[in-house]
Amino acid sequence: MYKVNEVFETIQGEGSFTGAAAIFIRLQGCPVGCSWCDTKHTWEVNDEQRLPLGDIVIKTAETEHWAGVSVEEILALFVKEGYQAKHVVITGGEPCMYDLNPLCEALHSKGYSTQIETSGTFEIKAPAKTWVTVSPKVNMAGGYKVLQSALDRANEIKHPVAMEKHIDELLRLLQQTDITAKLVYLQPISQQRRATELAIAMCKKYNWRLSVQVHKYLGIS
């Protein structure tokens, strides 16, 4: 069973799949504690906030409510809702608190591609063909360390930046990681002008890529 905060179909707004139609599965629970997190409603798992899956799908606002959902129920929901996208993004919260192998394997068997968005602070349990986006969270309030195994597994590293120290953090992480076959993105925190200018300058300097959270500029989920 997976604790699901919301499921919705939209356009992926970040990283290498920017612009792709996607179904998002947002899982509940995250102890990492990022101060700028824009999904803080997914941090806590409280039994009194549990709802049936049907009520989760029709939510019209961000809430701490979640549903306990099986793999079979997730697949049935896609059919019931008439989702057309064939790319599934599993996010959170921190999705790697869960073993994602059963969910991803079931999705692959139905012709979906899968992507995980994780902080890199938990072991990644997912099939080899799942695309893994590690957005490394360094020195956050929860005290979790970015795992070397997560950096090694990543297909792309998407680092949130607002100031020079965030660039220094990323450079230290990359020193111990072979990035030959990985994509490296900088993502300005909260679309701040200074952060965006810094990210652009560093992308030029290190030949990295820019991720600008297109969905926020468009005003969509």
Please give the annotated binding residues, written as ranges. 11-13, 26, 30, 34, 36-39, 91, 93, 135-137
Which residues are known binding-site members for substrate? 11-13, 26, 91
Tell the burial category of 98 from Cβ atoms under 10 Å away from its Cβ (0-12, 13-18, 19+): buried
Which residues are known binding-site members for S-adenosyl-L-methionine? 36-38, 93, 135-137
The Cα diameter of the chain in Å comes to 50
Strand partners, 7: 25
C-beta separation of 92 from 29 below 8 A: yes
Which residues are known binding-site members for [4Fe-4S] cluster? 30, 34, 37
Dihedral angle, C-alpha 8, 13, 18, 23, nearest 10 °: -10
Which residues are known binding-site members for Mg(2+)? 39
Please state whether beta strands 183-188 and 2-11 pair in parallel, antiparallel, or not at all (unpaired).
Answer: unpaired
| Phi, psi values for residue 51, rounded to 5° | -135, 165
Token pair 């599993």 is found at 90
- Please tell me the distance from the alpha carbon of residue 31 to that of residue 17, in angstroms, as a whole number: 27
Amino acid at 88: V
- State the DSSP H helix or E strand holding residue 214, giving kind and residue range, or none if neither: helix 214-218
